A = this chain, B = another copy of it.
Amino acid sequence: VTAYTVCCLPGDGIGPEIMAASRAVLDAVAERFGFTVDCEGHLIGGAAIDACGCALPDATLEAARAADSVLLASVGGPRWDTTDPAAPRPEQGLLAIRKALGLYCNLRPVHVFDALVDASSLKPELVRGVDMLIVRELTGGLYFGARERIDDAPGAGANGEPGVWCSDALEYGEGEIERVVRYAFEAAAGRPRATVCSVDKANVLGTSKLWRDVAHRVAAEYPQVAFSDMLVDNCAMQLVARPAQFDVVVTENTFGDILSDEASMVAGSLGMLASASLGDGTPLFEPSHGSAPDIAGKDVANPLAQILSVALMLRHGLGQPAAADAVEAAVERALDDGWRTADIADDATPADRVLGCAAMGERV
């Protein structure tokens, strides 16, 4: 039988609970489809800072490199929050593993399940049928450009006194833009609407003008894919106004961070959104949501984004598309049958249909 190794990184907050729920689903689907998965747990984020003083220990990175896929839950929490620029932060583990594995292409599908149409803040007629894919550049842009900090810069303080001055650079080479835009076109070419919208701020930023030039050049190679540009402020508006207009959206790292979280609200809850990070090294799969420290350890977290990340892993990481379909169908079925976690329940949900984290995992 085919045997896979998955590097599991539960991380912080609700991470361990949702990881456990999704591993149960993974074990079940592996058995049914006749393959085996060896899940190795490793440290990342705050848990790693506590254990060894850094957010991404070497042992974790080595294990990730050696595995077929990385399955990550979530990192961070108020315990490690600080604005001290020298202190290690859980999020650095996430940024570092993305960078070290060369995972420049982050896929964030926003799919509205019919059963959850009413869970959205938006009017049901606007969200029904929404099925978009946000492709976020993940190892460049504002997140990874040069940082500068000068503690006594002339004129940087109040009233022209000396003060702290800081800079973060948004940087791109055309190759970095091209590879992720190309991925977006490849993905779009296989989708029914075959449409790409490239999002930038080309009326202000030099990097966005370059982004737009490259996007147009790549677009010319895909005559079968419909293409348009959109300014990021307009896109933030259109996602609320008419989310169904979007098929594949491709954009810079920070813009993608903001827009994908916004888009998640169209789907009713961030608790429903999975993501895949692909590129040069071992692919990584994680939910789009954070570690929700306020509800950690209470068995009320929604494990569905994590379970849907397992589906993305089966499809894009392990080459088991039928198993991926089965997991997604099982999630859809659980929702259609009325099962909910607290975050996606509403007044109309009978109390006995509201499940905890582990129970939702079992139900799926």
Contact = CB atoms under 8 A, between A and B. Distances in A.
Interface of A: 76, 83, 85, 89, 91, 95, 121-123, 126, 142-143, 145-149, 153, 155-161, 163-176, 178-179, 201-210, 212-213, 216, 232-234, 236-237, 239-242, 254-255, 257-262, 264-266, 270
Contact of A172 (B166, B175, B260, B265): B166
A207 B166 contact: yes
Contact of A168 (B148, B206, B257): B206
A149 B241 CA distance: 35
A163 B158 contact: no
A172 B165 contact: yes
A98 to B, nearest CB: 12
Given A143-B204, A204-B95, A236-B262, A83 B156 contact: no
A198 to B, nearest CB: 12
Number of copies: 2
Given A121-B242, A240-B266, A255-B258, 20 more contacts: A83-B202, A121-B240, A122-B122, A145-B169, A155-B175, A158-B175, A159-B175, A164-B174, A164-B210, A165-B174, A167-B169, A167-B170, A167-B171, A167-B172, A168-B170, A170-B170, A232-B258, A233-B258, A237-B262, A240-B240
The 8 closest A-B pairs by CB, nearest first: A156-B173, A240-B265, A236-B262, A233-B261, A83-B209, A163-B174, A91-B203, A158-B175
A204 B98 CA distance: 14
A158 B172 contact: no
A218 B337 CA distance: 51
Given A83-B212, A178-B158, A169 B172 contact: no
A171 B166 CA distance: 6
Contact of A254 (B149, B201, B266): B201
Nearest to A118: B123
A169 B160 CA distance: 21
A244 B161 CA distance: 39
Nearest to A155: B173
Contact of A259 (B89, B166, B236, B257): B236
Contacts of A254: 201
A364 to B, nearest CB: 24
A266 B156 CA distance: 36
Interface centre among A95, A148, A241, A264 (most CB of B within 10 A): A241
A233 to B, nearest CB: 4
Nearest to A158: B175
Contact of A121 (B126, B201, B258): B126
Interface centre among A153, A206, A266 (most CB of B within 10 A): A206
B173 A157 contact: yes
Contacts of A76: 203
Contact of A265 (B204, B241, B264): B241
Contacts of A201: 254, 257
B171 A89 contact: no
Interface centre among A159, A179, A201 (most CB of B within 10 A): A201
B234 A261 contact: yes
